[in-house]
Copies of this chain bind each other. A is one copy, B any other.
Amino acid sequence: MGAKRIIVIGGSAAGPKAASKARRMDENAEITVFQKASDLSMASCGYPYYIGGYFDDRDQLLCSPAGVVRDSRFFWNAKKITTKVNTEVTAIDRKNKRIEFKNLQNGETGFAEYDKLIIATGATPRKPPIPGVDLEGITSLQSLVDADYLRKIKDEGTIKKAVVIGGGLIGIETCEALHLAGVEITIVELLPQLLTFLDKQMARLVEKYVQSKANVILENGVAAFIGENGKLTAVKLQNGTEIPCELAVVAIGVIPNTKLAREIGLTTGKAGGIVVDEYMQTDDPDIYAVGDCIEILNLISGNPVHAPYGDLANLQGRVAGENVISGNVARFPGTIQTGICKVFDYGVGATGLSEQNARKAGIANIETVVNASLDKPGFMQGKLLVTKLIVDKSDGFILGAQVLGPGDVSKQIAIWAMAIKGALTVNDMANADLPYAPPYSLAIDHSIATAHIMQNKLNRRFTGISAEQLKEKLKAKEPLVLLDVRNPDEYEQMRLGIGEKLIPLGQLRKRLTEIPEDKNAEIITWCKISLRGYEAALVLQANGYKNVKVLEGGLMAWPYKREK
């Protein structure tokens, strides 16, 4: 038997990873990667930082860790992998196990035979089907060509106003990049919130912060692009508003590229991607698929999802690369959809299910809590973290966590992602043994403190109220006793100003007479982060008050305007 012939369609992320792994598994295999674009192995997640000017050397997006550009020569010399760039695979012939390709530069076509085929065709940005979409000045941020276009805008510095359409991850990252490029930004999002992987209250905290850098317009879509002489001059919204701008970046999601797969009858699924098993194998035992063109299992909900994350693409590529050589020995079980993005000086991340997604997935018995604290001590310049934790009330298992703030969000998300991976409960997390030293964390890490608050809530030691719920009550003019229990100087610096009374925790026991006598009165307590708010609630409860609620996350998690 001759050398095994492996063909990989797609040379961006998952494809090259699969090819490289296959090579490491078999020095003698004939491995060929077909890449429609002209570049290979692009660090596409780095585009926003190249555009924003975090670095200026474009080659760094294409380099190996040793600083060598991963071009066809590199792939051949270092990995003995043939790469055909600017070459589109136009058809797959399952019966004869060969693919048909076309060189996009010279139009030449040809065939290549495979023993095993790996489809890594990626995804394409959605385009809104509205007038003017082909005007000059409208782009997405998906390809290196897009990145070059936007970087040129930064370098030239002539464009002053841009509209980013879509408040998801790519939209927000683009927003930061263009802001750094000196462009005034408006973000337009059809949904009532940014970053839909977050629950609404958390998203509102991001929104409040982003508003300090850009205009944010929610619940409004784009009706038309308006132009003069073929160039974009404004974006017209569904409510009629026109926003003058010279640039629009469309970031309303991506669609898996499944055309080739569908043409040969491979199954695609509910989430729109090619269906594969945990070996990354399609219906056809000789065809594997990886990366942004497939759908995978959400390991908590059990539902298929389209999860176009660069890290997962690499992990899937590694699995497919191993399996095409050795048979199905490696597995990629699925995702818990862990993600993070940098939003100016905030980190914003999530892992597992959000509350809304947990409910959609039919998990009814949910408890949530919001915790705000520093990531490390104040004397070590600790920065704020706000976490929303979601657990299954019936068994205490962690379902998901969302973390945001200027603090060390990345570590927090990693901790919760690992907690979910290990199928841990709140009680397990309450005694997690994490690395503590003042340069790195509080003595009780933010994640553990979050678990403690959840324990207290599950044990009915206190009743929480979210900022959203309180806001609703205020709107409905429900009779409430509002109690801020911080110190007077803190109150002078910052306060909600929603009719609250200030009684510092240290005076509360002596000033109980100032609280209405009615033991059924609804009392809301808070402080900066609601630790003292919690202690105040306990004091009130011990004094017979039956309807005391703690404002979760205190002032720090309040996503609305404050008086001060």
Contact = CB atoms under 8 A, between A and B. Distances in A.
A60 interface: yes
A78 B379 contact: no
A55 B379 contact: yes
A351 B390 CA distance: 27
Given A351-B433, A438-B45, A65 B417 contact: no
Contacts of A80: 509
A65 B379 contact: no
A66 B410 contact: no
Interface residues of A, number: 105
Tell me what chain A mostly uses at the interface: helix, strand, loop, or mixed: mixed
A473 B58 CA distance: 43
A437 B13 CA distance: 14
Contact of A318 (B67, B335, B452, B534): B452
Interface string A395-438: 00000000000001111011101110111100010111111111
A309 interface: yes
Nearest to A352: B433
B333 A532 contact: no
A297 B247 CA distance: 62
A541 to B, nearest CB: 8
Given A314-B444, A336-B433, A424-B421, A538 B66 contact: no
A310 B423 CA distance: 27
A192 interface: no
Given A46-B380, A351-B435, A415-B418, 19 more contacts: A24-B534, A46-B377, A54-B379, A55-B380, A74-B506, A80-B509, A313-B443, A314-B443, A314-B444, A315-B430, A319-B431, A335-B433, A337-B433, A342-B440, A410-B441, A414-B414, A414-B435, A417-B433, A422-B424
Contact of A437 (B65, B341, B445): B341
A340 B373 contact: no
B336 A66 contact: no
A148 to B, nearest CB: 15
A337 B436 CA distance: 11
A338 interface: yes
A532 B78 contact: yes
Copies assembled: 2
Contacts of A50: 379
Contacts of A309: 436
A435 B422 contact: no
Interface string A58-87: 001101011110000010011110000000
A436 B379 contact: no
A44 to B, nearest CB: 10
A27 interface: yes
A414 B411 contact: yes
Interface of A: 13, 24, 27-28, 43, 45-46, 49-50, 54-55, 57, 60-61, 63, 65-68, 74, 77-80, 309-315, 318-319, 331-333, 335-342, 347, 349, 351, 373-374, 377-380, 408-411, 413-415, 417-419, 421-424, 428, 430-441, 443-445, 448, 452, 461, 486-487, 490, 505-507, 509, 527-529, 531-532, 534-535, 538-539, 541-543
A410 to B, nearest CB: 4
A411 to B, nearest CB: 4
Contacts of A24: 461, 534-535, 538
Contact of A77 (B61, B340, B507): B507
B65 A440 contact: no
Given A418-B419, A423-B422, A535-B79, A66 B445 contact: no
A435 B349 contact: yes
Chain B CB within 10 Å — which of A342, A534, A541 has the most? A342
A55 B378 CA distance: 10
B337 A65 contact: no
A487 to B, nearest CB: 7
14 contacts: A27-B541, A54-B379, A65-B378, A65-B531, A78-B505, A310-B436, A311-B434, A314-B444, A338-B433, A338-B435, A347-B440, A351-B435, A413-B434, A415-B415
A313 B444 CA distance: 10
Contact of A421 (B347, B432, B542): B432
A554 to B, nearest CB: 11
The 5 residue pairs across chains A and B that have the minimum distance between CB atoms? A422-B422, A27-B542, A418-B418, A77-B506, A340-B435
A70 to B, nearest CB: 12
A318 B448 CA distance: 12
A412 to B, nearest CB: 9
A433 B337 CA distance: 7
Nearest to A25: B461
A428 B430 CA distance: 23
A461 to B, nearest CB: 8
A538 B543 CA distance: 73
Q: Which of A60, A373, A438 has the most CB of B within 10 A?
A: A438
A439 B436 CA distance: 23
Contact of A438 (B43, B336, B444): B43
